[in-house]
Amino acid sequence: MLDTIIHQAALRGMGTQARRFVGLLAESLVSSRSGGFQGLIKRFDDAGLGTLLRSWMDHPPADHALHPDQFAAGFGAEESSRLAKLLGVTTGAVNLAGAEALPKLVSLLTAQDRNPTALPAHLSALLHQQPVHAERRHGLGWLFWLLLAALLALLVVAISNARPDKSTAAVPATTPAPAPVAPAPVAEVQETVVQEPVEQAPEEQHPAQLQLANQDGKITVNGKLASDEEKQRLWDALKAQFGADNLSGDISVDAHTLPAGWMDKLIAALPQLAASGLKIGFDGDKLSVDTSALPEDQRFDISQKLRSLFSGYSMSGLWERATAALAGLQSGFSAHDLVQALNLMNVYFDTNSNAITADSQEILARAAEAIKSAPQDTRIEVGGHSDSVGTDQGNLDMSQKRADAVVAKLVELGVAPATLIAKGYGATKPIADNATEEGRAKNRRIEFIVQGE
């Protein structure tokens, strides 16, 4: 995994500094200067990201598990600035590369020790590795020029000593010999020192962006991509789907923009984006959706399709049954009204994990706001349920971990801990047939129940 972390850091703007960057980042996670690993946990807790951090300690994180602004909040602005100064790069470059590297480093460091206090030798070694300049990769060019200068100096001295001295040539006996003349001093040859060029800090890279709006079949697109090839590919796909006469807007190309990781998925999704009034936007791995101009049924349908197509992306603006139900709760609603709305909600997790996916964050935020407005004595059980695949104990353990993760996230979002209780049921309470994939999917659920009934 370490080689992967270093490679990704190089691609995220660290370049030849990638190995040292990873070493410095890892050192900061265990250093008493920054409060050690417990200090990192506290900073993430203070930033409302504690559950996210702890999920990396239980399961290897996926790429793009953390955003640069989240990294800056959890890692600490002072530490980001310190690393930037040591490496000669911008703080933005540290945050960009750190967002990709930190989750994997946490997973690596906590694999054997839940509270690491020292760096393993293979990580500590990275602290002492300097970047390799291009000149060094092609040989010791500076040594060649220094030797050449020395040889030239020796050659000048040799020529001067070999030249006949006219002042001491033979003369007639009757002519007094002139006084000896001291040889002319040889000019000192200065050594030429070839200074290696100072490595320039890499330009900060930015995520690819795109905004697309459909108004009566007329498509307007604006954004910024990394290359002309990406731009042409997207433009060709848009023309094929909607027609050249129906396209307008501008897509710029910027070499300091990261590749659009969403490109393939967007092109595959274009047939689903024909609804008039739909607006979507990409900013790196964040997807925003605006379906407010669409009829209710279309809002649900398109939101579900986009969730499926862009699974794992951080999404905002999706319109689900639960979204509508939570938005429709009237002032003074009862606990029963609340759980009816909550049970329309789907909470998604990474496969075989209790890590809540990025696309579930917004609906949980809406749920937290509704729960905080419930009657003061409301107590709600958050039940975790599984399908029948696997062992009974394994299913029970995972369902409990997932229920715990949902409660932790809601508490992180401001719900009073005393309002919620987590309970795992495993596969003991199915609501559909476990013999089919559709049935198993329905059985894998989070269910809310009013306590005391």
- DSSP-assigned beta bridge partners for residue 445: 385
Q: Is 60 exceeded by the pLDDT of residue 363? A: yes
Residue of 140 and 94 predicted with greater confidence: 94
- Say what the pLDDT of residue 436 is: 93
Is residue 64 pLDDT above 50, yes or no?
yes
pLDDT at 315: 84
Most confident of 150-154, 194-198, 282-286: 282-286
Element (DSSP H or E) covering residue 53: helix 50-58
Q: What is the pLDDT of residue 182?
A: 54
Does residue 227 surpass a pLDDT of 90?
yes
Instruction: Identify any residues that bridge with 423 across adjacent strands, giving them in sequence order.
Output: 383
Least confident of 96-105, 222-231, 385-394, 403-412: 96-105
Residue 414: predicted pLDDT: 94
Position 176 confidence tier, pLDDT thresholds 50, 70, 90: low
pLDDT class of 184 with cuts at 50, 70, 90: low
Task: Choose the weakest-confidence range: 49-58, 96-105, 107-116, 174-183.
Answer: 174-183
- Which secondary structure element, helix H or strand E, spans residue 249, and what is its range? strand 247-253
Q: What are the residues whose beta carbons fall under 8 Å from the beta carbon of 335, sequence distance 6 or more? A: 374, 375, 378, 380, 450
Least confident of 232-241, 343-352, 416-425: 343-352
- The reply to whether domains 209-317 and 322-450 share a CATH topology is no
Query: What is this structure's pTM?
Result: 0.50
Residue corresponding to tokens 């955003």? 67
What's the pLDDT band for 39 if we cut at 50, 70, 90? confident
Which tokens is 16 given? 């030849």
Sign, CA torsion 41/369/332/451:
negative
Mean pLDDT of 32-40: 86
CATH class label, 2-135 = mainly alpha
Residue environment code for 146-184, b if the CB has 16+ CB neighbours within 10 A, otherwise e: eeeeeeebeeeeeeeeeeeeeeeeeeeeeeeeeeeeeee
Mean pLDDT for all residues in the chain: 82
Report, at the CATH architecture level, how domain 322-450 is classified: 2-Layer Sandwich (3.30)
Whether residue 66 has pLDDT greater than 70: yes
Average pLDDT over residues 145-157: 65
Domain ranges of the chain: 2-135, 209-317, 322-450
**How much is the CA Rg of the chain, to the nearest whole Å?**
33
User: If DSSP codes are grouped into helix, strand and coil, which group holds residue 251?
Assistant: strand
Mean pLDDT of 335-342: 94
Q: Are strands 279-283 and 286-290 parallel, antiparallel or unpaired?
A: antiparallel
Average pLDDT (407-432) is 95
**Statement: residue 175 has pLDDT above 50:** no
What are the φ/ψ torsions at residue 420 (nearest 5 degrees)?
A: -120, 150
The CATH number corresponding to 209-317 among 3.40.50.11290, 3.40.1520.20, 2.40.50.140, 3.40.50.300 equals 3.40.1520.20
The gap from C-alpha 196 to its chain's centroid, in whole angstroms, comes to: 33
Q: What is the side-by-side order of every strand in the sheet holding 445-450? A: 420-426, 380-385, 445-450
User: Lowest mean pLDDT: which of 183-187, 225-229, 406-410?
Assistant: 183-187
pLDDT above 90: residue 238: yes
